[in-house]
Structure 1
Amino acid sequence: MLTTAIGEIAVYMPTASPFVEMAGRAVDEALEFTAGWNFFLMEALYIPFEITACNTMVHYWRSDYSPAIAFAIQIVLYICFNLFTVRFYGESEFYMSICKLLLAVGLLFFTFITMVGGNPKHDAFGFRHFKDHPFNEYVTTGSLGKFEGFLAAWAKASFVCCGPEYLSMVAGEARNPRKTMRTAFKTVIYRLAIFYVGGALSVGILVSCKDGKLIEAIKNGSSDGSASPYVVAVQNLGISGLPDLIEAVIIISAFSAGNGYFYCASRQLYSLAERGFAPKLFSRCNSRGIPVYAALVVVCFAMLSLLQLGKNSAVVLNWIVSLCTGAQLLNYGWMCIIYIGFYRAVKAQGIDREALPYRSWFQPYSIYICTFFIWIDIFVVGYTVFLPGWWKTSDFLFSYLMIFVNLGLCVFWKLLKKTKMRIPTEVDLTSGLEEVQKHEEEILAEEGEKESNNNSLFSRIMSWVF
């Protein structure tokens, strides 16, 4: 629901960072400043997480090497893909995305084939593991413990379920953005259903929540493939070779994710500088259009992965996960508030939503539901530190630090610039639209003939998939 809401803004106003810019237009410039920096910090912090994750996953095969070697290789590759030419980034992401897509589809087929008996043991286990209790206890026992288990799973899912909102980040660089973004946001719900829901369902089918290998790997803080439910399932079924293939593609996926975060973080810092929210130095580009100084700042964030050179790498990974989760949830929370401001402005100014190039579903009720649950999640994600005997200052800071950072950013800009809340009837919903519409007309005129020749069933299927 939130993704389609942001899609409405991105398609209406396809800029480099649509929802962040709309915060300044529809709510308050202080929120634009806060949401913009929070988004940058979130993306930048994901980079050391992915670098650390890649290294720990390599430990599935061997660990008798210095992690600094793996870190250095990944950071150098990120620099090569992002600092020299955008073409390298695009080409690398294209092929790595194909690998990720093949893995996701392959695991869905693997689940179906093995559950009906297509495995070395000829065991048609079907939905056998669904007979286990759907809710496991966590922290306490009984019904309360099961509810706390649900909260713990919710917090983990908040970290994992990210990505669709990044569609809006490419709106400003897409060719004919209103058409391509509209198509992308219309189909994203089906991709989420297939890959997120289908993937979660597959894990529940393949492995019991009480599987000894899985529990042991999680208790030991393993971050390599031994903690992957798919790898555990393959090992339980006695299939040789496949765990190595799965692990290899997962490493490629993690590297690809870090590569994407590097690109988005550098562009977000560039956008902040362009809007006057960061030093102008970061808006300078080289002859190839790459914001070099912004990218160098992102390299510094990548260096945070060197913290893993300490004794307990799993602790470092958990800290970064907590910071990223906090920033990500706040990012979603700000998105909700921004869309509400946009919706109110559209309604107050008498703009017919039916005439918008793309409309999200069930508004405004769906965005109110999102706002309610996301802001609850923001405050309960680290609730365990408040339980008797569970207090750890480090856990509290890494669970809730981003709330204080965002609050500080908002108050700082509010006091510095003395900004005011936008009145719905006075919100600027037209600046830049004329340029967008003119560009759209030129593209449609240029590609009219090509589009009619490219409207085959195969072309439509490929467009939906990719």
Structure 2
Amino acid sequence: MSATKYPEKGPPSPSVDIRTDDEVVQESSTEMISRSHSLHRKLRGKEVQLFAIGGAIGTSLYVQMGSALPKGGPAGLFVAFLIWGAIMWAVNECFAEMVTFLPVPSPFIRFGGEWVDGALGFAMAWNFFLNMAFLVPFEIVAMNIMITFWTDKVPVEAIIVAMIVLYAILNIITVRYFGISEFYLSIFKVVLMIGLFFFVFITMLGGNPLHDRYGFRYWDNPGAFVEHLVPGGTGKFLGVLSCVYQASFSICGPEYISMVAAETENPRKILPPAFRSFVWRILVFFVGSALCMGIVIPYNDPTLLGILGGDISGSGTGAASPYVIAMQRLQISGLPHLVNALIMTSIFSAGNGLLFAATRTLHGMSLQGQAPRFFSWCTNNGVPLWALLASLSFCLLAFLQVNSSSAVVMTYLVDLVTCCQLINYGFTALTYRHFFSALKKQGISRDTLPYKGRFQPYTCYIAMGGTSFMLLAGGYDLFLAGGWDVMWFFLDYGMIAFFILAFAFWKLCFRSKYIQPGTANLTLGGLKEDIDNYEAILIPREPGKIDKVLNFIFE
């Protein structure tokens, strides 16, 4: 293997490339815009929609969301996802207006560095990389839980090593097929989720071997809300708050659309519908799943409580998914095994995609001088080998399962990832406020934009306020009587300290300047004109029959 030559300098932002060329080569943003908009196959509307949906649908919707049910109850879980869904809608409006205006690689990170402060772009880049990297061992831990549905004879260490090896092989030899494979796997995830919704609807009406017409029984007994940590109304409020924190981990999506912005065939036409449909994805998949989980099992289900507390061991503990628990309770033969296997397929796909994103993000950061230069070295077929190995090293966190229960280790990783997500969402909203001021002071009417965010700039205030509140409230349980724990304090707030240190490092070492609101260069050094010219000469491909059907569904 030999190294591939790369440019020495580039704009200050990482880039994630999901092309399916024979060689996947990271370039500076300027080169990527000019080359990628002309030479290789671009993503169509249905593909962007599916990437967004597939990226958002993961382990949480099948398994991990159930961990919040004993804390808030079915109504608490449902209300919490509605509340956080509204916050995420506000975040989405900030992403949408900026990204459709300038669909460049890793846009929300790029904008933070170009329109607010170079130090912010650096801190957001590392924060986003860690977000992706921490999610890979999360998926490995989830895989171990699902395998124990059948047997506990396989050592945890063997599962972890096997997953790491498989991920390494797939990321080395199948780069060119990543885009198309993720497209079809996204369709699979959507079908699986819809199938689970039908399972809930049919069985709650009595369509099950027990002929048990259970409906909303568990909302009445044992109850709709849970008194969490303390009794009374305060306890119920804390229960809902714990579910909101879970929702802040589970609900995502705008960043996945943004990641493929520069890879979209006609971005200013295709991206707006993808962002607009985000609210329906929230309602259907996230809020819908929260509702269904509270229907199929009670919040005090002994199997769920035993798994979460690490009290149940041995074969069968893989039934951590409320759906699988319900299937077993209803004595539906065969279906729990099938669904468990299908969920495992989704988990494996999610981990592979996250590792790919983490690797390409670190590689892009290296090209821009935001990470050590050796991470930019690639093999002949375009694999950034050192960046891949560095990203794989985070999988070693999965070995925490050896001394702790898998459910506890998942909680560790959820805390770290949630903090990362909230930071990037909040600072994306702050970046939007600078963008809004620049449009106003430079006389650019928002009515001329491809996407006009609703109720701005008040929407971005909601996004900043909501994410800031959850960042600070994430460790609420630490401040109650007897709840203090140094390790959990680090897990809840450690990423905030990392972000501040990263910002300060870049600010002090490179003397980056804060860009006053209204003075940002909205052309990004001429990239806007490049995209304008590309779209002016673009001749869209004629969709086939299947494309027309999929476009009707997803657009």
By how many angstroms is 1:33 displaced? 0.7
Partner SS, residue 139 of structure 1: coil
The CA deviation string for residues 17-58 of structure 1, in whole angstroms up to 9 with x for no partner, is 000000012211111111111011111111111112111221
1:357 to 2:454 alignment: no
Partner SS, residue 150 of structure 2: coil
TM-score with structure 1 setting the length: 0.92
Provide the rounded CA distance (Å) in 2 between the counterparts of 1:388 and 1:427. 48
**Maintained 8 Å contact 2:102/2:528:** yes
Q: 1:23 aligns with which of 101, 107, 112?
A: 112
**Maintained 8 Å contact 2:308/2:407:** no
1:433 to 2:528 alignment: yes
**Maintained 8 Å contact 2:304/2:322:** yes
Q: 1:66 aligns with which of 145, 150, 155?
A: 155
Q: 1:184 aligns with which of 274, 288, 306?
A: 274
Q: 1:281 aligns with which of 356, 374, 377?
A: 374
Q: Which amino acid aligns with 1:216?
A: G
Provide the rounded CA distance (Å) in 2 between the counterparts of 1:251 and 1:433. 42
Q: 1:265 aligns with which of 358, 369, 375?
A: 358
**Maintained 8 Å contact 1:81/1:89:** no
Provide the rounded CA distance (Å) in 2 between the counterparts of 1:80 and 1:219. 35
Partner SS, residue 518 of structure 2: helix
Q: Which moved more, 1:385-394 or 1:127-136?
A: 127-136
Q: 2:263 aligns with which of 164, 170, 173?
A: 173
Rate the CA distance shift 1:422–1:229 in 2: closer, same or farther, 3 A.
same
Provide the rounded CA distance (Å) in 2 between the counterparts of 1:67 and 1:305. 9
Q: Equivalent residue for 1:318?
A: 411
Rate the CA distance shift 1:221–1:401 in 2: closer, same or farther, 3 A.
farther
Structure 2, unpaired ranges of 5+: 1-88
Partner SS, residue 262 of structure 2: coil
Provide the rounded CA distance (Å) in 1 between the counterparts of 2:377 and 2:108. 23
Q: Which amino acid aligns with 1:182?
A: P
1:35 to 2:124 alignment: yes
**Maintained 8 Å contact 1:222/1:314:** no
Rate the CA distance shift 1:130–1:353 in 2: closer, same or farther, 3 A.
same
Q: Which amino acid aligns with 2:216?
A: F
Q: Equivalent residue for 1:54?
A: 143
Partner SS, residue 225 of structure 1: coil
1:111 to 2:200 alignment: yes
Q: 2:385 aligns with which of 272, 292, 303?
A: 292
By how many angstroms is 1:140 displaced? 0.6
The two structures, once aligned, show a CA RMSD in angstroms of 2.2
Provide the rounded CA distance (Å) in 1 between the counterparts of 2:517 and 2:546. 41
**Maintained 8 Å contact 2:266/2:540:** no
Q: Equivalent residue for 1:460?
A: 551
Provide the rounded CA distance (Å) in 2 between the counterparts of 1:42 and 1:276. 20
Rate the CA distance shift 1:302–1:407 in 2: closer, same or farther, 3 A.
same
Rate the CA distance shift 1:222–1:343 in 2: closer, same or farther, 3 A.
farther
Provide the rounded CA distance (Å) in 1 between the counterparts of 2:510 and 2:272. 36
1:246 to 2:339 alignment: yes
Partner SS, residue 425 of structure 1: coil
Q: Equivalent residue for 1:145?
A: 235
Partner SS, residue 185 of structure 1: helix
**Maintained 8 Å contact 1:323/1:398:** yes
Rate the CA distance shift 1:295–1:139 in 2: closer, same or farther, 3 A.
same
Aligned residue pairs, count? 460
Q: Which amino acid aligns with 1:16?
A: P
Partner SS, residue 226 of structure 1: coil
**Maintained 8 Å contact 1:135/1:149:** yes
Identical aligned residues as a percent: 41
Indicate the structure with greater helix content. Answer: 1
TM-score with structure 2 setting the length: 0.78
By how many angstroms is 1:255 displaced? 1.3
**Maintained 8 Å contact 1:214/1:227:** yes
By how many angstroms is 1:190 displaced? 1.4
**Maintained 8 Å contact 1:270/1:294:** yes
**Maintained 8 Å contact 2:307/2:407:** no
Provide the rounded CA distance (Å) in 1 between the counterparts of 2:137 and 2:534. 38
1:122 to 2:217 alignment: no
By how many angstroms is 1:222 displaced? 6.5
Provide the rounded CA distance (Å) in 2 between the counterparts of 1:177 and 1:80. 32
